[in-house]
Structure 1
Amino acid sequence: MSIGVWGYLGEYEQERDDLLDAVDTVFRSGQLVLGASVEGFEAEFAGYHNVDACVSVDNGTNAIVLALRALGIEAGDEVITVSNTAAPTVIAIDAVGARPVFVDVDPDTYLMDVDQVEAAITPRSRAILPVHLYGQSVRMEPLLAIARRHDLAVLEDCAQAHGARHHGRIVGSFGDAAAFSFYPTKVLGAYGDGGAVLTGSRSTAARLRRLRYYGMEDRYYVVQTPGHNCRLDAVQAEILRRKLIRLDSYIKRRREIADRYREGLAGTGLVLPAVADGNEHVYYLYVVRHPDRERIMASASAAGIHLNVSYRWPVHTMSGFAHLEYGPGSLPVTERLADEIFSLPMYPSLTEIAQERVIDALVRAL
């Protein structure tokens, strides 16, 4: 039997009764759009992060788009971020008409190199968008200090780091706003798509609620700025409420899997994940490095082990972003990582027997 880099069927069998009850709860509620399930999830997700407000939306990309708009980012503004990320981070910046400005990443953690941020600031800079990649936090204290000195907004991309902490503080509670994705693969994943924005600002939350609902406050009356139709589906909201209760147990299980990888792959020549000082990693992905990646992945595939590369093409190298004029060599660490990184199977229902097969296949390949 083959082993995928991600799977949900084992989790579904364990949680099936609760998940089907969630669907039945919404169908019997009499309200299929917004309603009690959405309001309940928003309150509970905000409470989990000790943040004043959560505004749920239909996916993680629109969470970033609406958050940028709510923070006042407009066409011609610049947003500082990284190229070592999923393309939707940058697509969202482009969607509001702003220009992404890239800084390179730390060679050990693969996260934004905060020491490069200040040099990237120009008179058109309006925001910094740190990506808490693979399950751990960017160094937020110095980043926030830079933002304060230059009067820049900070929007955290938390799509891959639900529940991660930095010096004891949970990600999503640092910036002016924080965007989350609930795509099924995420640490807190829906059974479909979904997203949310956290903020401590009442005015930002109010703008977000208008923007996700056409720009309306009262029904059919657009206030100030036209918005979008970006509401979280009520069924997904109710499922996320049930799963939020189990989020800490999902994280505990991911850390156990990471510990077994660390032990089983020690001494193989793979560069294993480094955890930055003060970080509590949640291992959305277990990303390793090796210069002979393609041979290793092919060997594992022949043994029925499917690995993945996140991400094979840095955003600045994609033809769709050629207009940004970042040539080869402009982000050397990011580009080198793209040639060497790959992800191992990582999900809570991954069994110890399956994980041993993964480890054995990699040991043989190396």
Structure 2
Amino acid sequence: MTKPNAVPMNDLKRLYQRYEVKIAREVTSTLQSGWWLNGAAGKRFAANFAKFVGASDCILVANGTDALELALRSVVGLNASHGREVIVAANAGGYASCACWHNDLVPHYVDIEPASQLASIQAVLEAVGADTAAIVVTHLYGGVVDVPAIRAGLIDVGMSHIPVIEDCAQAHGARIGDETVGSLGDIATFSFYPTKNLGAMGDGGAVLTSNPRLADRVRQLHQYGWSSKYHVGLPGGRNSRMDEVQAAILDILLPDLNSRNEQRRAILDRFKSAAGSRLRFVDGGSGAVAHLAVLLCDDRDAFRVFMKARGVDTDVHYPVLDCDQAGWADLPMKGTQNLAVSRASIGRLCSLPCHPDLTSDEIEQVCKALGEWEAL
């Protein structure tokens, strides 16, 4: 029997090859300018990305984790309440939890919806209280949390002052109705890690908001807390900047983001059609952008072996809940006893390759393997 060709989770060489001529031209021009930080390329991409999202301000930073930390520090600094708890989901890889602890805040974990694996709106609203400093909603796997519903619920319980931070690291271009994620909360964060729907060829992140006071705080905090050069106006600042080369590359890729998201959705639909009752794909809503093709399988380990034998790479996003990480066991946290759905899901999650540079043959290979699994 001939061993099947491998279908990779990602193959970034294909992305580069698709845009090679444009990238070479823009990168060369950027390097020849002699301006490699805080220059024209960064300003251009920030303006274009803010327009795409529907926010007035976009501050480029070094990575998505910095973006989360800076956003949290900014909203807590302006929040009239003095709570130290941040409501987060426990299944999103630990990035929001790290941002909490790095800001001396306490993650308060809430459970998720079984079908979407996104934070349960009811659980979020039930967790809100006098100690709540902020809510981080993670648009996980490219799905969309109903932020307007959360904000309406906060108004109903007299808690409209609590800021909502959108973690959009996996949801570039995702929508709810006519609105794009990143424009729904008080402030939003993005990662441009290479495998994202909009990824750099290195690293990068961004904070977006339409609140001028928050934008001003983030601008200061991402460069040492400076109010002007060498004059510190805010404590807790850092050096977190995106370089000009990454900004130039992202600006090349941005115009094709919507069409490439459509390709991701089409691939995921093919996989769903090939699967049956033994596999359940996560459904992030009609505006989701299929950052990952995530399914739940009762016999995940056997399924991964089965797919590997048929040349299909798989992965697990994510294998451990934040509250169960051994290295974080002694850190402050709340809500760990109320995560029944999260705990029931964690051992069943599996991700399949789902990126727009998959070939037709590779997509068919995955679909064939899914069908064979269902036929067992």
TM-score bracket for the superposition, by shorter chain length: over 0.9
How far apart are residue 139 of structure 1 and its match? Answer: 1.4
How far apart are residue 53 of structure 1 and its match? Answer: 0.4
8 Å CA contact 1:6, 1:345 repeated in 2: yes
Residue 363 of structure 2: aligned partner: 355
SS in 2 for 1:271: strand
In structure 2, what residue type is equivalent to 1:341? L
TM-score (normalizing by structure 1): 0.95
Provide the rounded CA distance (Å) in 1 between the counterparts of 2:232 and 2:189: 24
8 Å CA contact 2:69, 2:100 repeated in 1: yes
The 3 A distance-change label for structure 1 pair 328 and 89 is closer
Give yes or no for the alignment of 1:175 onto 2:182. Answer: no
Provide the rounded CA distance (Å) in 1 between the counterparts of 2:293 and 2:251: 26
How far apart are residue 195 of structure 1 and its match? Answer: 0.4
Provide the rounded CA distance (Å) in 1 between the counterparts of 2:75 and 2:252: 31
8 Å CA contact 2:292, 2:354 repeated in 1: yes
Residue 310 of structure 1: aligned partner: 317
Q: Deviations 1:107-153 (Å, cap 9, x if unpaired)?
A: 11111101112221232111111111111211122201233431201
Residue 143 of structure 2: aligned partner: 136
8 Å CA contact 1:147, 1:153 repeated in 2: no
8 Å CA contact 1:158, 1:180 repeated in 2: yes
Provide the rounded CA distance (Å) in 2 between the counterparts of 1:72 and 1:268: 45
Provide the rounded CA distance (Å) in 2 between the counterparts of 1:158 and 1:325: 23
Of 13, 34, 39, the residue aligned with 2:38 is: 34
Give yes or no for the alignment of 1:96 onto 2:103. Answer: yes
Give yes or no for the alignment of 1:212 onto 2:222. Answer: yes
Of 282, 295, 298, the residue aligned with 1:273 is: 282
The 3 A distance-change label for structure 1 pair 232 and 325 is closer
How far apart are residue 358 of structure 1 and its match? Answer: 1.5
Provide the rounded CA distance (Å) in 2 between the counterparts of 1:226 and 1:305: 45
Give yes or no for the alignment of 1:158 onto 2:165. Answer: no
Residue 27 of structure 2: aligned partner: 23
Of 247, 251, 267, the residue aligned with 1:241 is: 251
5 Å-filtered alignment, 1:179-328, equals 179-265=189-275, 267=276, 269-276=278-285, 279-323=286-330, 324=332
8 Å CA contact 1:329, 1:335 repeated in 2: no
How far apart are residue 180 of structure 1 and its match? Answer: 0.4
Provide the rounded CA distance (Å) in 2 between the counterparts of 1:160 and 1:184: 11
The 3 A distance-change label for structure 1 pair 329 and 210 is closer
How far apart are residue 349 of structure 1 and its match? Answer: 0.3
Give yes or no for the alignment of 1:344 onto 2:352. Answer: yes
Percent identity over the alignment is 35
Residue 43 of structure 1: aligned partner: 47
In structure 1, what residue type is equivalent to 2:46? E
Of 4, 8, 14, the residue aligned with 1:10 is: 14
Residue 94 of structure 2: aligned partner: 87
Provide the rounded CA distance (Å) in 2 between the counterparts of 1:160 and 1:37: 23
Provide the rounded CA distance (Å) in 2 between the counterparts of 1:328 and 1:139: 23
Q: Deviations 1:150-197 (Å, cap 9, x if unpaired)?
A: 120110000011000012211110111000000011000000110001
SS in 2 for 1:28: helix
Provide the rounded CA distance (Å) in 1 between the counterparts of 2:26 and 2:104: 39
How far apart are residue 329 of structure 1 and its match? Answer: 5.7
Provide the rounded CA distance (Å) in 1 between the counterparts of 2:129 and 2:335: 20
Q: Deviations 1:260-310 (Å, cap 9, x if unpaired)?
A: 112222x2521123243xx31100001111101100101111222110111
SS in 1 for 2:281: coil
Provide the rounded CA distance (Å) in 2 between the counterparts of 1:325 and 1:89: 12
How far apart are residue 61 of structure 1 and its match? Answer: 0.3
8 Å CA contact 1:296, 1:362 repeated in 2: no
Provide the rounded CA distance (Å) in 2 between the counterparts of 1:326 and 1:79: 10
Aligned residues: 363
8 Å CA contact 1:165, 1:171 repeated in 2: yes
Provide the rounded CA distance (Å) in 1 between the counterparts of 2:336 and 2:43: 47
How far apart are residue 318 of structure 1 and its match? Answer: 1.0
Provide the rounded CA distance (Å) in 2 between the counterparts of 1:70 and 1:325: 21
The 3 A distance-change label for structure 1 pair 90 and 70 is same
8 Å CA contact 2:76, 2:134 repeated in 1: no
Provide the rounded CA distance (Å) in 2 between the counterparts of 1:365 and 1:226: 52
Gaps of 5+ in 2: none
SS in 1 for 2:76: coil
SS in 2 for 1:246: helix
8 Å CA contact 1:155, 1:179 repeated in 2: yes
8 Å CA contact 2:142, 2:284 repeated in 1: no
Residue 70 of structure 2: aligned partner: 66
SS in 1 for 2:164: strand
How far apart are residue 76 of structure 1 and its match? Answer: 6.5
